[in-house]
C-alpha cells in the first residue's frame, strides 16, 4: 500500500513540473514558388535604330526553400526563345539565392545557377546552363538583370550568351506570422 501511494504521488507530481519552451525564432521564411518573365536584349550594331534590340522571351518556374532568412536553394525549369539563333531551349537548373535586406521592405539579391539545357527540335542539341542574376525586390516581386550562357552553339564555335531584364513574382509568400527581419 505504501509503495502504491508513493507511485501515485510520484506520477501526479510529474504533471506539475512540465514546462513549455516557446520558440522565439518564428520570423524565418520557409519555402517559395515563383514565376519569372524576362526579355533578352542584344546591342544594335547598325547605328540607325535603338541601342538595344529585343532578342526573345524567357519564362521560368521555380520552387525552393530558404535555409536562413536570406539564403535559399531552388530548382527551376523554363522555356527560353533565343530569336537571333532561331532556338527554343528548355533550361533545368538549381540556384543558390543570397538576399540580404537593405531597408525595411527591400532586399538586394544575387543568384547564381547551374544545370543543363536542351534545344527543342534541333537534333539533340544540349549542354550546360549557367546564369547569374542581380536585382532588388520585396516579398511579392523582384526586378532583375541576368546573364545566361547555354553550353552549345547553333552557328559557329562559341557558346550562346544572353543578357536579360526581367520580373519575378512570388506565387506564395511567408505567412503573416513569419515577417522577414
pLDDT at 97 over 50: yes
- Rounded to two decimals, what is the model's pTM? 0.75
Residues in the chain: 181
Mean of the per-residue pLDDT values of the chain: 82
Tens digits of residue pLDDT in 32-83:
899 999 999 988 777 777 778 888 999 999 999 988 878 999 999 999 999 8
Identify which has the larger pLDDT, 43 or 173. Answer: 43
Domain 29-172 CATH class label: mainly beta
Identify which has the larger pLDDT, 74 or 181. Answer: 74
9-23, 25-39, 40-54, 158-172 — which is least confidently predicted? 9-23
Give 179's pLDDT tier (boundaries 50, 70, 90): very low
CB of 89 within 8 A of CB of 120?
yes
pLDDT at 138 over 70: yes
pLDDT at 90 over 60: yes
Q: What is the pLDDT of residue 181?
A: 46
25-34, 116-125, 155-164 — which is least confidently predicted? 25-34
Give 155's pLDDT tier (boundaries 50, 70, 90): confident
Q: What is the distance between the alpha carbons of residues 175 and 181, in angstroms, rounded to a whole number?
A: 13
Q: Which residues contact 92 (CB under 8 A, 6 or more apart)?
A: 76, 77, 115, 116, 117, 118, 129
The alpha-carbon radius of gyration of the chain (Å, integer) is: 25
Phi, then psi, of 9 in degrees rounded to 5:
-65, -40
SS3 117: strand
Q: Count CA atoms closer than 13 A to 71's CA, side-chain side.
A: 2
Amino acid at each position: 500500500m505504501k509503495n502504491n501511494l508513493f507511485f501515485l504521488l510520484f506520477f501526479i507530481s510529474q504533471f506539475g513540473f512540465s514546462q513549455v519552451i516557446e520558440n522565439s525564432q518564428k520570423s524565418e521564411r520557409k519555402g517559395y514558388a515563383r514565376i519569372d518573365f524576362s526579355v533578352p536584349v542584344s546591342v544594335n550594331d547598325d547605328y540607325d535604330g535603338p541601342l538595344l534590340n529585343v532578342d526573345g522571351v524567357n519564362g521560368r518556374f521555380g520552387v525552393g526553400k530558404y535555409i536562413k532568412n536570406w539564403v535559399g536553394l531552388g530548382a527551376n525549369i523554363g522555356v527560353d526563345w533565343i530569336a537571333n539563333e532561331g532556338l527554343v531551349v528548355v533550361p533545368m537548373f538549381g540556384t543558390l539565392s543570397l538576399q540580404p535586406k537593405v531597408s525595411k521592405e527591400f532586399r538586394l539579391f544575387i543568384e547564381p545557377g547551374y544545370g543543363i539545357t536542351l534545344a527543342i527540335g534541333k537534333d539533340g542539341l544540349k549542354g550546360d546552363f549557367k546564369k547569374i542574376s542581380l536585382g532588388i525586390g520585396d516579398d511579392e516581386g523582384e526586378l532583375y538583370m541576368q546573364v545566361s550562357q547555354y553550353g552549345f552553339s547553333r552557328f559557329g564555335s562559341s557558346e550562346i550568351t544572353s543578357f536579360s531584364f526581367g520580373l519575378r513574382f512570388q506565387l506564395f509568400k511567408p505567412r503573416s506570422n513569419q515577417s522577414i527581419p
